Structure 1
Amino acid sequence: MMQKYDVVVIGGGPAGGQVARNLAKKGHRILLVERFPSFLDNNFSSAGMTLAPLKEFDLPNKVIGAYWKNITIQCTKNSYFWKGNTNKGVVLDYGKLKQFLADDAKSFGGEVLTGYKYISKKVNEKSVIVSLQKAKSTEIIEVESKLVVDATGPLRKVMYDDKEVQPTMNLGSGTEYLIEVAPEIYEKYKDQLVFFLGHKWAIKGYSWIFPMEQNILKVGAGKTHLKSLNQENTDKTTKKITEQIIKEYLKCDTYKLLDVHGGILRYSEGLKDKFYNNKVIAVGDSVSAINPRGGEGIRYAMQSANLACVYIDEYLVKGTTNFDNYRKKWRRRKLFKWRLSEVSSQRMYSKYTDVQIENRVQFFHENFSTDVLIDSLFNFKYNQVVLRFFQLIRLKIEFAFKKDRF
């Protein structure tokens, strides 16, 4: 007989796992579907964040790869260092995070199905029939659900049927190497995040070095596919940039390559995504829940999952809810900050020259503390930046006035 569920969640990433975890705790019958045989597969995420999400989502120590307290921004010419006296954030083990969320859902009665991919859906008045295909076979199973959650990320496979027109998307892509290095190299980078800006180290985006557990580093590069006004044509790829950082910046001639992974990003400028349609609710990257400037997505994916669950739970308990409010509330919380981040990223990645990038990073380094930098990069808090900007304008005006007088 066809298995019946309250909610089928398609996609076992942070957003999908958080939905399954939340709803299972509420006592709903949940099926979490992951297309890879293991949650340790498809492990692309730099996964750097502040400490706040650990408490916000009640995450255990076992999902932490490393702590960080310092930040370095390497431009084409110079390097700028911000020192933190205490731990400021973590780099998560992305695979272990996904596994934990799935296991937590199972501990509250949820079911997990790995190695099956979404094929199609049939929506009727009372439910949705979801077709799933087992990996590397022709076996197809069907399950029935009151609601389906699209947590398939940038593909948005459940919300949009094949060939259905989607909103205009900004595209991004990236490559990341997980490498084991000599202890003396690891010691230099074990407690800091390193970001690379400028044409030498990035292609219309940024690159990074993040620490993990003992002697292991994440090294990667991401690019946007925005039209560039100032960057010259190049045959470099994110893979070549990653290898260049390992060789020239880390000066690491020998290392053990543990994993190579990559991914794409499809982001709807202005958050024009569908959040709900015909018994399908989207979360995470499926609704562009990602920092458009820095690419950070785990925290916002899980926040979107938490908000969606409020309306899903109400629907399952009462038989009705207004899913339009899910989209309205998310946009009310995020749209203005996302717009600022969009403008900032477009200028930095596609318009500024190396000199302009260098000048702006140098200005930030001379005027703002580590905590202000972190608030700007991760938390969209610009109050101190704006205040300092106007203070400097006022000082320049006062200086010009005094110069005219004397």
Structure 2
Amino acid sequence: MSSTLFGVPEEFDAIVIGGGPAGSTTAGLLAKRGHRVLLLDRDRFPRYHVGESLIPAFMRPMQELGLTERMDARGFERKYGGTLVWGNAQVPWNFSFIEGTAHEYAYHTRRADMDSLILDRARELGAFILEEATVKEPIETDGRVTGVRYTLRGADGMHEARAKLVIDASGQARLLSRKYADVTWHEELRNVAVWTYFDNCERLPGDEYTNILIEGLDEGWFWAIPIDKGTISVGYVTRSEEANKEGRSLQDLFWEEVDKSTKLKKMLASSNQAAGWRTARDWSYTSNSFTGNGWVCVGDSAAFVDPLFSTGVALATLAGSTLARIVDQIIQHPEIEEQALKRYVTAYRAFFDEIRTFVERFYDRSKYKEFYHSLATEMVDPDRERTPSANFVQLISGLSGKHPMLTLTLDDLVGPSDESASAQG
């Protein structure tokens, strides 16, 4: 039975399930456009999440939200590029964002702090935010999702909220996506990750000081992300079958592989472990449907790709920005919903598939860096308008090619505005 929450209406233009980067970005930008938005999240922020290293594509939606200066004010560490120990003979090489993008840096950050920053901005922009609210099920009316039922921690009874469109940004919980669609796992990227945190680490030297380190070994690879001056996040990623070999734990495997590393081993030489262990499995998948009657997915509820190039948060927030523009038009012009969401899905899948395909091919560690550069050129610059190294940087920055994901418009669906039509008449 529904009960009304103090100050919170029951009818909305859009309901967003999930307050992570995808959900908060979508809700914030919809509220900024003047729409009534409800965001529900089962946790209380700040809350832990892995994924501390970001790429320049992330900066575009953050500029829309007006958050870039606040990130510097909060002390988030700027990330200007990366150091790779990768390819034939595991020769070290670097890349710099300034070579291939309009944004010369992104950030390393504790996700709890960053996610709270985006959620709070959505609240500032006028979205109704309910934390510790667990969505139990969608409300269906004549086969269309028209709202959700949810509980609030510490309160009895079920609450209801209704909206013109429900947005699933629930991450890997895939609350609506799991109910209405199957998922495809990408077999080439069936991996396991194990990670922890270290204090008092040695940093990379000179111009590499703020770089993420990606160090490839025979059976997997490490990330090392400098969260602040002395703390780094370190994780090891390997194939599921390698991790499942009998007789050793993932923690044992982690330390065995650290001993085989070069740059990482040096960084950890005088450090101390500062946290427990965390693991994740089967990281790469795509939902078979991103949208349905009255609902649409964004972020990890739609798709997730292996974390090799730290694309997850950037892809989620870019998709949130694009979806906010589309939903804004759908609310104003309900008749375009089906075609508009189809256009969103087509662009989103193409953008995701490009990143996934590149990651899959990059996992061949038998090549030299020139091969990886030429691969990026083949994918995003077939006319050879830029240098191969610039194409590589552009691709792994999440700003590749001329995807509709970055420029998608609905002008042809909406038609001229009333003002324009009157002027033409």
TM-score range for the pair, normalised by the shorter chain length: 0.7 to 0.9
Aligned equivalents of 1:91, 1:294: Cα separation in 2: 13
Query: SS at 2:82's partner residue?
Result: strand
Displacement of 1:158 in angstroms is 1.9
Aligned to 2:107: 90
Aligned to 2:330: 315
Aligned to 2:274: 257
Structure 1 residues 245-324: aligned runs within 5 Å:
249=265, 250-252=267-269, 254-258=271-275, 260-263=277-280, 267-268=284-285, 273-288=288-303, 290=305, 294=309, 296-324=311-339
Cα deviation 1:238-263 (Å, max 9, x = unaligned): 65455456666134354251565444
Displacement of 1:364 in angstroms is 5.0
Range that drifts further, 77-86 or 21-30: 77-86
Matched, 1:168 2:209: no
Structure 1 letter corresponding to 2:78: Y
Aligned equivalents of 2:106, 2:367: Cα separation in 1: 27
Matched, 1:18 2:25: yes
TM-score by length of 2: 0.71
* Contact kept? 1:221, 1:238, Cα under 8 Å: no
TM-score by length of 1: 0.74
Across the aligned residues of Structure 1 and Structure 2, the Cα RMSD in angstroms comes to: 3.8
CA distance 1:282–1:223, shift in 2 (3 Å): farther
Displacement of 1:294 in angstroms is 3.6
Aligned to 1:391: none
Structure 2 letter corresponding to 1:4: E
* Contact kept? 1:195, 1:207, Cα under 8 Å: yes
* Contact kept? 1:180, 1:257, Cα under 8 Å: yes
Range that drifts further, 19-28 or 84-93: 84-93
Aligned equivalents of 1:361, 1:237: Cα separation in 2: 33
Matched, 1:216 2:231: yes
Structure 2 letter corresponding to 1:308: L
Displacement of 1:198 in angstroms is 3.1
Query: SS at 2:55's partner residue?
Result: strand
**Structure 2 unmatched ranges of 5 or more:** 99-103, 376-386, 403-425
Out of 43, 49, 55, which is 1:49 matched to?
A: 55
Aligned to 1:325: 340
**Structure 1 unmatched ranges of 5 or more:** 384-406
Aligned equivalents of 1:85, 1:315: Cα separation in 2: 36
Query: SS at 1:158's partner residue?
Result: helix
Query: SS at 1:63's partner residue?
Result: helix
Range that drifts further, 324-333 or 25-34: 324-333
Matched, 1:60 2:68: yes
Aligned equivalents of 1:130, 1:256: Cα separation in 2: 43
Structure 1 residues 5-404: aligned runs within 5 Å:
5-6=11-12, 7-38=14-45, 40-50=46-56, 52-58=57-63, 59-63=67-71, 65-75=76-86, 77-82=89-94, 84=96, 88-125=105-142, 128-134=146-152, 139-146=156-163, 147-161=165-179, 166-170=182-186, 171-182=190-201, 184-185=202-203, 190-200=209-219, 202=220, 206-223=221-238, 225=240, 239-240=251-252, 242-243=254-255, 249=265, 250-252=267-269, 254-258=271-275, 260-263=277-280, 267-268=284-285, 273-288=288-303, 290=305, 294=309, 296-332=311-347, 335=350, 338-349=352-363, 352=364, 357-361=365-369, 371-379=390-398, 381=400
CA distance 1:358–1:98, shift in 2 (3 Å): same
Displacement of 1:66 in angstroms is 1.7
Structure 2 letter corresponding to 1:69: Y
Structure 1 letter corresponding to 2:122: A
Aligned equivalents of 1:193, 1:224: Cα separation in 2: 22
Aligned equivalents of 1:156, 1:105: Cα separation in 2: 21
Aligned equivalents of 1:232, 1:100: Cα separation in 2: 38
* Contact kept? 1:154, 1:266, Cα under 8 Å: no
Aligned to 1:394: none
Aligned to 1:397: none
